[in-house]
Structure 1
Amino acid sequence: MPRLSRRAWNNVIIFAVGGMILIFQLMEYRQSESEELPQSNYYSLLPSEATILQLNLPQLRIERAGVDWKSEPQLEPNKLVQIIDAWMHIQLPVWNGSINGSSQATKVQIYIAGSREPIQLSLFQSEDRYVIRNWQGQILELDLDSYHTLFQ
């Protein structure tokens, strides 16, 4: 078997690295392509890549303080992490009904990294039903468990 020269080994390494980069790019492309497909009729409240810096709810204000969270009124740290995680990952079904004209909209402001202006969400309540308008303007239905998870 003939020995490869130093120049030939360099070419082998260059092609191997180029092949690995191509494989990684294809894997990333396929993953991002599958994430963009909606999960049936369920949507999130925030962009998938959002990093919450501050969450202003009607009865609660949560703010990032370094790597931790602080709130007013003060809640235990584990509870704050649960609330933030719920806001970032919850998937809700589309509401196909109409919003009652007498329903009051409660504003929710969410400041995310990389944006100067907060994301404004509107929560509507009529009798025992809650709906919320997400960052894309879609009206989503909140069941009672989801409501309590998000709005402690």
Structure 2
Amino acid sequence: MIKLSKSGWNNVIIFVVMGFILLINVVNKNTYSPDAEQVDIHANQALAILGENQVVLTLSIENVVLVERIARTWRARPASIAGQALEQMMMSWQQSSGELMMQAPEIDRQFALNVTLDIAGQPQPLQLNVYATEQQLLVFNQNTQQWLALPIEMYGQLFPQEIFAN
């Protein structure tokens, strides 16, 4: 064993701990870097309708239904949906993701539901066109010019029947 004084061993311990911290830092940067996240997004080609940390202030459907954030709750006008159903609808908008489509699908654009979302901190509202086909729900983001394909079952979660009741 190497014979070092007490201060010599302290220096050895300090350098070993610093090396260990540097090693953890390098591994952490490789694992959680933005470049790695970009590769994962493009590899899976799954994309969320809204960003993870985006806060929806208002949601307008066809300029007929308006959902507003009031503190931590939601209010719809006309008040055809409220309470837990409205909370579930807005949570679906916040958490939904779909498969990124490389080519625009062949659909009749006159059957779109126009959805406008005001996002906190964004100067322009998010403009979406939603199309329901027999197999899937298609969402066109006008801001990014991207198409997303979601399962058709998401239609009932994003647009509950109560929302259009008079």
Which of the five TM-score ranges fits, normalised by the shorter chain? 0.5 to 0.7
Structure 2 partner of 1:39: 44
Structure 2 partner of 1:19: 23
Moved over 6 A (4+): none
Q: Does 1:121 align with 2:125?
A: no
Aligned equivalents of 1:60 and 1:82: distance in 2? 16
Q: Cα distance, 1:12 vs. partner?
A: 4.5
The size of the alignment, in residue pairs, is 150
Evaluate the alpha carbon distance shift between residue 144 and residue 27 of structure 1 in structure 2; reply closer, same or farther with a 3 A threshold.
Answer: closer
Q: Which amino acid aligns with 1:146?
A: M
Aligned equivalents of 1:52 and 1:10: distance in 2? 48
Identity across the alignment (%): 19
Q: 2:145 aligns with which of 137, 140, 146?
A: 137
Larger radius of gyration: 2
Unpaired runs of at least 5, structure 1:
none
* TM-score (normalizing by structure 2): 0.63
Q: Deviations over 1:16-44 (max 9, x none)?
A: 4333333322221276245422535x544
Q: Cα distance, 1:53 vs. partner?
A: 2.4
Aligned equivalents of 2:44 and 2:124: distance in 1? 28
Q: 2:89 aligns with which of 83, 94, 109?
A: 83
Structure 2 partner of 1:111: 118
Q: Does 1:64 align with 2:69?
A: yes
Report if aligned partners of 2:132, 2:155 keep a CA contact under 8 Å in 1.
no
Report if aligned partners of 2:132, 2:152 keep a CA contact under 8 Å in 1.
no
Structure 1 partner of 2:57: 53
